[in-house]
Amino acid sequence: MAEFDSPTLLVEAAHRTHEAGYLKIDAYSPFPVEGLAEAIGFHKNRVPLVVLIGGLLGGLSGYALQYWISAISYPINVGGKPYHSWPAFIVVTFEMTILFGGIFAVFGMLALNGLPMPYHPVFNVPRFAFATKDRFFLIVFSTDPKYSPSETRRFLEGLAPRSISEVPS
Amino acid sequence: MDEQRQPAAPVIEPGYTFGTVTDKISSIVLTRPTSNGWFLGFGVAFLLTMMMLFAVGYLFARGVGIWGVTIPIGWGFAIVNFVWWIGIGHAGTLISAILLLLRQSWRNSINRFAEAMTLFAVSAAGLFPLIHVGRPWLAYWLFPYPNTMNYWPQFRSPLVWDVFAVSTYATISLLFWFIGLVPDLATLRDRSTNRAAQIIYGMLALGWRGSARHWHRYETAYLLLAGLATPLVLSVHTVVSFDFAVAIVPGWHTTIFPPYFVAGAIYSGFAMVLMLAIPIRKFYGLEDFITERHLQNSAKVMLATGLIVAYGYGIEAFMGWYSGNRYDSFLLWNRLHGPYAPWYLSLLACNIFIPQVLWIRKLRTSPAALFLISGVILVGMWLERFIIVVVSLHRDFLTSSWGMYYPTRWDFMTFIGTIGMFLAAMFLFVRILPMISIFEMRTLLPEAEVKE
């Protein structure tokens, strides 16, 4: 794992590492850095799909709930309105869409990220505490096919980092 | 005569680094000793909360008769306070969600505590519908749960729409706020020296480590939540306005209510944001993060929404005359000459005339002036809801049904008590959580830009 001082250096290092053929890499920063995810080769963002599914589910179930309650299970005459009074159903359908969309967004994002994950090997590196403050890290996982302790270390040194740490498993 | 155009105040004062930004905000929570002022403020707020619990307890024991509600004014302080609190909450969501979508970077330093303000305001609001029903132990009947009585809520009623709208609003606000907190909780986890704090912040931070893949998904989810929260904010107060607009009472049955209520909500919400931000930035030394620019922009939003609200009043008055409808015309006459006329005139003064001083640049940038004007606006917005509810109800169609509404001490105790509860929650929040979004402040620094 290599430590850098600025997001620009990290993005550049990430590009070069990915181009060198390392695939199982990750980068850590105290705030979202533009272009970093692409630099480490991450392209499959499934969050929008999850939110769409959630929203559709919410809207359909909200409407279905109202329809079943108002037209089938407990139909009552309110001001002469038809049992299937769809204009009145719009509001709750809308709210349910937003509710489910939002819940799926949050929990879907957390699930896709694998969070909560209280333990991860990187936490064993003392300097990693600065990842949530003002330092930027790049890691090559040992599960990468191109990984070799000495080769990879030499490669990372070539990126001119502030420091290099070995992450105990 | 040429006037020198002053350069806009910065969104964040120059000279900060990622490290110093983190230190400044997290030290308030982790290392700064709790001041006597905090204990005093929290103490007073806590006592007011106790008063509220006492008033609500007595309400449950004796019934709604202890309040001032009577025939014909069947809805009094409870609904007025509910709408007032919900309105205040909307500014937090606007700052968090709408300003994010509009790429306004000045939102970064105020969105955390504005969202917290929303949560606490919605909690205070949510209390009223639950306690103001005649049989509060049956309040759960508002939700569509399967039951043995074979009954369900009536979905053509705005009161049921309210249940869904406010529940959705509370849930989404909580989720949005918590998700925004996760990276900062990780910062606190890594910086705290106290073992208990490390564990608690650590568990709440969900193991966040700032991975680029995680940030990417996080940013997407955050943006989508903002996109969902924007129509939500507009719809919630619209649904609240429907509580009145779908009724037939003069002064209620008007199509101007949805936009008028939403604008009014943002108006009062920003006033509350300023009333919180100004003391906070002073006592915690955060003037470099909550700068003159924030005060100015908030004042401008208040001015704009105040003018929309003024338009709402104007159209109401105009329609009172133009419609030729005797009940609508009487409503206008009654507001100006009836028993509640002094309150209506105060309302016009507080909401329309006094805030016009915000056109003056000097007053827009003076924290003391903004604090006072915000207070005036909050009072004015409360009076607006009071006028809408009480004046329309106390004299409607039949003169034999006319009456007067006099709030009782229990009405006031409950209301002031919820203000106490809100403030107590704000004090706790400021003490144990970072009141400014640390990671979003880092993105404002020039070093955060990735240079090609």
Read off the pLDDT of residues B137-155 as tens digits, 9 standing for 90 and up. Answer: 999 999 999 999 988 999 9
Phi/psi at A46 (5° precision): -95, 0
> Residue A99 corresponds to which tokens in the numbers above?
């509710």
User: Does a structural domain hold residue A130?
Assistant: yes
Give residue-wise pLDDT tens across range B275-333: 999 999 999 999 999 999 999 999 999 999 999 999 999 999 999 999 999 999 999 99
Instruction: Check CB contact under 8 Å for B443 and A31.
Output: yes
Residue among A11, A91, A119 with most chain B CBs within 10 A, to mutate = A91
Is residue A24 included in any domain, yes or no? yes
**A40, A128, A129 member nearest B212 (Cβ):** A40
Question: B438 to each of A131, B27, B110, B168, B192, how far by Cα in Å?
Answer: 13, 11, 11, 27, 15
> From CA B327, how far away is CA B343, in angstroms rounded?
20
Q: Please indicate, yes or no, whether residues A52 and A101 belong to a single structural domain of this protein.
A: yes
Residue B438: give its domain's CATH number.
Answer: 1.20.1630.10
Nearest to A76 among B154, B447, B450 (CB): B154
Last residue of a domain, one of A92, A113, A134: A113
B62 at interface of A, judged by CB pairs closer than 8 A: no
In chain A, the number of structural domains is 2
Q: Order of strands across the sheet with A136-140?
A: A25-28, A136-140, A2-4, A163-164
Nearest 5°: CA angle at B180, between B178 and A91? 70
Task: Based on the fold, state whether residues A102 and A58 are members of the same structural domain.
Answer: yes
What is the pLDDT, as a whole number, of residue B6?
Answer: 62
Chain A closest-CA separation from residue B204 CA (Å): 9
Q: Which of A14, A42, A65 minimises the CB distance to B144? A: A65
Q: Is residue A169 part of a domain?
A: no
* H or E stretch covering B193: none
Structure tokens at B98: 């709408």
Q: Is the pLDDT of residue B386 over 60?
A: yes
Given a cut of 80, whether residue B176 has pLDDT beyond it is yes
d(CA B76, nearest CA chain A) in Å: 26
- Are A96 and B164 inside 8 Å of each other by CB? yes
CA distance B319 to B13: 49
Residue B253 contacts A, CB cutoff 8 Å: no
Residue B4 has pLDDT above 60, yes or no: no
B416-437 per-residue burial string, b: 16 or more CB within 10 A, e: under 16: ebbbbbbbbbbbbbbeebbbbb
Neighbours of A21 (CB within 10 A): 9
Chain A closest-CA separation from residue B347 CA (Å): 31
Number of domains in chain B: 1
CA-nearest residue of chain B to A101?
Answer: B228
DSSP β-bridge partners for residue A4: A136
Q: Count of CB atoms within 10 A of residue A41's CB?
A: 16
Q: What is the pLDDT of residues B8-62, one digit of tens each?
A: 788 888 889 999 999 999 999 988 888 999 999 999 999 999 999 999 999 999 9
Beta bridge partners of A25: A140
How crowded is the C-beta side of B421, counted as CA atoms within 13 Å? 24
Euclidean distance between CA atoms B292 and B309, whole angstroms: 25
DSSP SS3 for B211:
strand
**How far apart (Å, rounded) are the C-alpha atoms in residues B87 and B98?**
16
Count of other CB atoms within 10 angstroms of residue A31: 22
Is residue B1 over pLDDT 60? no
Per residue in B204-252, pLDDT (tens digit) is: 999 999 999 999 999 999 999 999 999 999 999 999 999 999 999 999 9
A159 in the same domain as A134: yes
A110 lies within 8 A of chain B by CB: yes
Contact flag B206-A118 (C-beta cutoff 8 Å):
yes
Is B225 close to A105, i.e. CB distance below 8 A? yes
Which of A24, A31, A57 best probes binding to B when mutated, by most B CB atoms within 10 angstroms?
A: A31
Please judge whether A112 and B439 are an interchain contact, meaning their C-beta atoms are less than 8 angstroms apart.
no
CB-nearest partner of A134 from B22, B165, B203: B22
Does B312 map to a domain? yes
Is the minimum CB–CB distance between B155 and chain A shorter than 8 Å? yes
Both A31 and A59 in a single domain?
A: no
Nearest-5° Cα angle at B115, B109 to B121: 135
Core vs surface per residue A142-164: b (16+ CB within 10 A) or e: eeeeeeeeeebeebbeebebeee
Q: Do B179 and A106 touch (CB under 8 A)?
A: yes
Question: How much is the pLDDT for B3?
Answer: 46
3-state secondary structure of B248: coil
Q: Does A125 touch chain B (CB under 8 A)?
A: no
Tokens 């709440």 identify what position?
A: B204
Peptide bond into A87 cis (omega under 30): no
Provide the residue range defining the domain that includes A152.
Answer: 2-44+122-164
The answer to whether residue B141 neighbours chain A at the CB level (below 8 Å) is no
Range of the domain at B155: 34-445
| Same domain as A109, residue A75 | yes
**pLDDT (tens digit, 0 to 9) for every residue of chain A, 169 residues total?**
899 988 999 999 999 999 888 888 999 999 999 889 888 888 889 999 999 999 999 999 999 999 999 999 989 999 899 999 999 999 999 999 999 999 999 999 999 999 999 889 899 888 899 999 999 999 998 888 888 888 888 888 888 888 888 888 7
Decide if A36 is inside a domain: yes
Same domain (yes/no): A37, A56? no
B215 contacts A36? CB cut-off 8 A? yes
Residues B371-398, mean pLDDT to the nearest whole number? 95
- The candidate with the shortest Cα–Cα distance to B251, out of B121, B393, B377, is B393
Query: Does residue B448 sit at the A interface (CB-CB below 8 Å)?
Result: yes
**Token digits of residue A150:** 């000495």
Q: What angle do CA A135, A139, A144 make, to 5 degrees?
A: 175
Tell me the shortest Cα–Cα distance from A123 to chain B, in angstroms. Answer: 8
Residue numbers in B near A91 (CB within 8 A): 158, 161, 164-165, 235, 239, 242
Using a CB-CB cut-off of 8 Å, the residues of chain B touching A31 are 18, 183, 215, 439-440, 442-443, 448
Give the CA distances from residue B194 to residues B158, B203, B205, B218, in Å, rounded to whole numbers and listed in that order. 50, 14, 16, 29
- Measure B222 CA to nearest chain A CA, in Å: 8
Q: What kind and span of H or E run contains A163? A: strand A163-164
> Does residue B253 lie in a domain region?
yes
State the pLDDT at residue B2. Answer: 44
Q: How far is CA B350 from CA A113, B47, B80, B388, in A?
A: 50, 29, 17, 15
Contact call for residues A113 and B181 (beta carbons, < 8 A): no
- How would DSSP label each residue in B3-68? ---PPPPPSS-SS--HHHHHHHHHHHHHTSPPPHHHHHHHHHHHHHHHHHHHHHHHHHHH-GGGSS
Q: Which of residues 160-189 of B touch A (CB under 8 A)?
A: 160-161, 164-165, 167-168, 171-172, 175-176, 178-179, 183, 186-187, 189
Q: Considering only CA atoms, which of A91, A104, A112, A90 is closest in space to residue A55?
A: A104
DSSP code of residue A26: E
CB contact under 8 A, A131 and B155: no
Contacts of B83 (CB under 8 A, 6+ apart): B125, B240, B243, B261, B385
